[in-house]
Amino acid sequence: MKKRIITLALVAILAFSALPMAAAADFTDVPPEHKHAAAINYCADMGFVLGYSPTTFDPDGKITREQMAAVWGRTFSIRTPKFDDATKPAGDMDNAIIFMYAMGYMNGVAESWFSRTAYMTREQAAAIVERTYLPGIDGADSYLTYTDGADIASWAQNAVSVCLNYGIFDGVFAGDAFQPQRDITRGEVCHLIYNLMKVEYDITIAPMTGGTVTASASKAEAGATITLTVTPDTGMQLVAGSLKYNGTAVTGATFTMPAEDVTITADFEAIPVTLASIAVTTPPDKISYVVGEALDLTGMVVTATYSDGATDVVTS
């Protein structure tokens, strides 16, 4: 059974690259239907990853080992001293590499060689995930569920197993084979981070009168379907078009959770009362006439019935 990792409240304060960061929504090569779109948007918004330009991200491009060190380093809350007389580390790739190595999260390909421009492989990425966020966990032999499990390096087998058991690979890699030596893409790295964070956003119901609204969840990940239940008080009804999340009208009773906290609002109004029927409930005392006699309605009672079930005697 896959276990859910506690959400990591991490602050991205390491700036290992001086490249300008583009807003996630500006990446023209990351359409909403891209399999890693939500993860890329989240990582870009958090400052974990940078675009190659203000409009391009290259989600299917490869990522080098030094770039991986920089991206992964930004996911940590490094509490640097806030002293005026203490110089903070300069922002460059070297700091990222030194930090990741010093923490034991990334090793060199040899004792004296990091191979910074070589591409990061899938099994290397799995090892980094295990060392940073899931250390000391026995993943058993889950890696053997892959058809090419025997091709996974011995030093990465437990890491792959742990990632499988904790759902870190969900939506990241497709197929029955892991392809351990295949270069991991920028989008896949973002998805690994996204799955590790298990980002959930709050769903708040705003105060309202005349009725209540409940949501199917109080927290949800971006992309989740949220169902709303509207219950007007007696004699009240929902004002058409007033059911909204963060100002966006809800069509029907569901909406797709965005990558942000949402507040549900709604307005209620009294159901308009209309005349449903009218009837003579008591006939007049005089019901027989001869030609020339005046109409006498004495004793007659006419009753009106309204849409809310109320009745009233008509007097005029």
pLDDT digits (tens, 9 = 90+) for 102-112: 888 998 888 88
- Alpha carbons 194 and 301: distance in angstroms, whole number: 73
Residue with tokens 């002293």: 83
Residue 131: closest CA among 111, 160, 93, 153: 160
What's the CA dihedral at 23, 26, 32, 37 to 10 degrees? Answer: -40
Average pLDDT in the chain? 86
Percent of the chain at pLDDT > 90 equals 62
Residues 6+ apart with CB under 8 A from 305: 275, 276, 277, 278, 279, 311
The pLDDT of residue 270: 92
The pLDDT of residue 18: 32
In which element (H, E) is residue 256 found? strand 254-256
Residue 8 banded pLDDT, cuts 50, 70, 90: very low
pTM value is 0.60
Mean pLDDT of 242-255: 96
- In CATH, which of 3.20.80.10, 3.40.190.80, 2.60.40.3630, 3.40.50.800 is domain 275-314? 2.60.40.3630
The strand pair at 262-265 and 201-205 is best described as: parallel
Q: How far is CA 146 from CA 53, 132, 165, in A?
A: 37, 23, 13
Mean pLDDT of 168-195: 95
- Alpha carbons 305 and 310: distance in angstroms, whole number: 6
The pLDDT of residue 135: 93
DSSP type of residue 110: B
Mean pLDDT of 182-210: 93
Give the up-direction half-sphere exposure of residue 25: CA atoms within 13 A in the CB hemisphere: 2
Q: How far is CA 108 from CA 14, 101, 135, 234, in A?
A: 21, 8, 19, 70
Ranges of each domain in the chain = 24-197, 201-270, 275-314
3-class SS at 191? helix
Residue 231 banded pLDDT, cuts 50, 70, 90: very high
DSSP type of residue 142: G
Tokens of 286: 């005089």
Mean pLDDT of 15-28: 50
pLDDT at 11 over 80: no
Residue 84 banded pLDDT, cuts 50, 70, 90: low
- Which residue stretches of the chain are H helix? 37-46, 65-73, 93-102, 122-133, 154-165, 186-197
The strand pair at 262-265 and 268-270 is best described as: unpaired
